[in-house]
């Protein structure tokens, strides 16, 4: 595990450099993206868009996949992860990126949607680089703390603490979806490289638990300790308790 600690604003360029290094070797790389505030605070998508528009970074051959979506909301819903990805990334890219998968929150059979996602990844040759955020309760993707966890993508209840957190976005806690589709822990572990990004003092305690604590499904981010090729990218506030 490589731990990098830097200024918040340096994280976007750092991750974009990693993309460019990967694309130099593997122009058709399969890249796993993530949602949440972290990619915005750190400017990850902003920097990728800038490099694509201004520096000629060619993303056209890449395959993109997002690991999760909340069940019961349409792709067009303002809080869907499809909307997020379009708003912050796909819509700003000069050349449309066709090869991409974001689970559909309105899929008739959410478990079948999980299988469709697994097949998409397998048929694309597996994930080369997976960007990961860290939830305040130690979730990654939407893999919430639980006594045991499925290896393949699955349907999960969204933890009450996260539903409370998203309540302002949806107007009330009752309006927040109760379940999500998410990668399984095996889906994460099969990615050839992981890059976990966390920023801000509010994440400091959970970062320390995730990186230094006992590996347990009750704190899913601890599973990254078992991955052979993982970068942890933090700002100094998030690294405070390490
Ligand atoms: C979200 C997503 C995760 C994300 C995490 C952290 O709900 N399901 O994929 O990484 O929570 O979000 P943030 O960066 O806003 O703290």
Q: Which atom from ligand 1 is nearest to the alpha carbon of 136? A: 16
* Crossing angle for the helix pair 44-54 and 8-25, to the nearest 10 degrees: 50
Using the mean position of ligand 1's atoms as its centre, give its distance from the Cα of residue 134 in Å: 6
pLDDT at site 96? 87
Q: Evaluate whether 199 touches 234 at the Cβ level (below 8 Å).
A: yes
Instruction: Tell me what ipTM this predicted complex has.
Output: 0.96
Tokens 């869907």: give the residue: 80
pLDDT score of 126: 98
Within 8 A by CB and 6+ apart from 175, the residues are 167
Distance 37 CA to ligand 1 centre (A): 7
The per-residue pLDDT string of the chain (242 residues; one tens digit each, 9 = 90 and over) reads 999 999 999 999 999 999 999 999 999 999 999 999 999 999 999 999 999 999 999 999 999 999 999 999 999 999 999 999 999 999 999 988 999 999 999 999 999 999 999 999 999 999 999 999 999 999 999 999 999 999 999 999 999 999 999 999 999 999 999 999 999 999 999 999 999 999 999 999 999 999 999 999 999 999 999 999 999 999 999 999 99
- For the chain, what is the radius of gyration of the CA atoms? 17
Is residue 52 lining ligand 1, measured as CB closer than 6 Å?
Answer: no
Residue 215 is classified by DSSP as P
Report which secondary-structure segment, H or E, holds 187.
helix 185-190
Establish whether residue 135 lines the binding site of ligand 1, counting it when its CB lies within 6 angstroms of any ligand atom.
yes
Cβ(16)–Cβ(47) below 8 Å: yes
Q: Does domain 2-235 have CATH number 3.40.50.1360?
A: yes
Q: How far is CA 74 from the centre of its chain?
A: 19
pLDDT at 33: 98
Domain ranges of the chain: 2-235
d(CA 151, CA 15): 27
Over residues 101-129, the pLDDT tens digits come to: 999 999 999 999 999 999 999 999 999 99
Q: What is the 3-state secondary structure (H, E, C) of 102-151?
A: CCCCCCCCHHHHHHHHHHHHHHHCCCCEEEECCCCCCCECCECCCCCCCC
Q: How many A from CA of 32 to the centre of ligand 1?
A: 14
Farthest-apart Cα atoms in the chain, separation: 47
Q: Which residues contact 209 (CB under 8 A, 6 or more apart)?
A: 138, 219, 221, 222
What's the pLDDT score for residue 59?
96
Q: What is the pLDDT of residue 49?
A: 98
Catalytic residues, which ones? Answer: 68, 137, 139, 144
- C-alpha distances in Å from residue 10, one per residue of 24, 42, 140, 200, 236: 21, 7, 22, 14, 11
Mutate-to-test residue for ligand 1 from 103, 131, 135, 162, highest number of ligand atoms within 8 A of CB: 135
Residue 47's alpha-carbon distances to 59, 94, 107, in angstroms, are 13, 14, 32
Question: What pLDDT sits at residue 123?
Answer: 98
Closest residue by CA, ligand 1 atom 1: 36
Contacts of 85 (CB under 8 A, 6+ apart): 33, 35, 66, 102
Q: 200 C-alpha to center of ligand 1: Å?
A: 13
Provide the β-strand partners of residue 183: none
């Amino acid at each position: 595990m490589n731990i990098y600690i830097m200024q918040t604003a340096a994280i976007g360029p750092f991750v974009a450099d990693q993309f460019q290094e990967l694309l130099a070797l593997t122009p058709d790389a399969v890249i796993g993206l993530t949602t949440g505030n972290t990619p915005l605070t750190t400017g990850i998508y902003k920097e990728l868009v800038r490099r694509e528009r201004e520096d000629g970074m060619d993303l056209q051959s890449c395959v993109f996949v997002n690991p999760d979506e909340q069940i019961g909301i349409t792709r067009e819903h303002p809080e869907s992860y499809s909307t997020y990805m379009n708003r912050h990334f796909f819509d700003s890219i000069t050349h449309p990126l066709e090869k991409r998968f974001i689970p559909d929150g309105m899929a008739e059979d959410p478990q079948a949607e999980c299988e469709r996602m697994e097949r998409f990844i397998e048929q694309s040759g597996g994930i080369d680089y997976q960007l990961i955020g860290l939830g305040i309760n130690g979730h990654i993707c939407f893999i919430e703390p639980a006594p045991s966890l499925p290896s393949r993508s699955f349907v999960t209840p969204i933890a009450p603490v996260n539903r409370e957190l998203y309540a302002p976005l949806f107007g009330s806690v009752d309006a927040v979806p109760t379940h999500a589709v998410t990668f399984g822990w095996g889906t994460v572990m099969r990615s050839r490289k992981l890059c976990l990004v966390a920023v801000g003092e509010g994440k400091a305690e959970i970062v320390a638990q995730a990186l230094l604590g006992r590996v347990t499904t009750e704190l899913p981010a601890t599973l990254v300790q078992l991955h052979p090729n993982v970068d942890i990218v933090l700002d100094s506030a998030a690294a405070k308790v390490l």
